[in-house]
Amino acid sequence: MRIARLLTPALVLAILPPSPPRAGLVDPPTRVGRLSYAAGAVSLRPGGEDDWADATLNYPLSTGDHLWTDDDGRAEVTLGSTAIRLARYTAFGFLTLDDDAVQVRLSQGSLQVRLRNLEEDDSFEIDTPNGAISLLRPGTYVVDVDPTGDSSGPTNGRTGAPAGTVAPTTPAPHPTCRARCPGTRTWTTTARGA
């Protein structure tokens, strides 16, 4: 009798057909962002949510998540060795964040990207209200969008790259590019040695 009680569940499981794979379930990407620094008023709106909340340190960020830094706010998001720093009055969000691509939106404010490594098959793009900026190689990049979101399409300055892309002009160890997107400003690019 005791053997029958132990074997019955095993027999039932053996007779049942295997469950079909769950539709819509996909492994999460191995690349996520992390809110590594927050000072002052920094708010978070997770993807799929309508409400904003106070951001907390070390919060994992992924596609669809948005950050807002207020008057006294500053924030830093890290993606592996890449750092994205947000100045005050900055509206920022992840449009795509997966193993091969980072696509962020800068609707207003200023951000600095310190891109230490960019693999050949990876892409990093910053979307502004009137254009997109593709980062082509490691460096430090600063992008500003005025508070009205009024920006011209990226005008190629001294980058030597096609319009809509930014690349440091010299092979300096730590090149710096500055892209200003408001309609009255143009891009300037400088390089500085380490």
Place of tokens 């039932």: 12
Q: How confident is the model at residue 144 (pLDDT cuts 50, 70, 90)?
A: confident
Query: Would you state the pLDDT for residue 27?
Result: 67
- What tokens appear for 1 in the block? 């009798």
pLDDT tens profile 99-134: 899 999 999 999 999 999 888 889 999 998 888 888
| Pure H helices in the chain | 2-15
The pLDDT of residue 153: 32
- Is the pLDDT reported for residue 191 higher than 90? no
**Structural domains in the chain, sorted by start:** 30-192 (2.60.120)
What are the tokens at 176? 């710096």
Mean pLDDT is lowest, of 24-38, 65-79, 130-144, for: 24-38
Higher per-residue pLDDT: 13 or 34: 34
- pTM of the predicted protein model: 0.70
Q: What percent of the chain has pLDDT over 90?
A: 43
Q: Which among 85, 96, 97, 108 has a CA at the least distance from the CA of 38?
A: 85
Instruction: Convert the pLDDT of each residue in 60-91 to its tens digit.
Output: 999 999 999 999 999 999 999 999 999 999 99
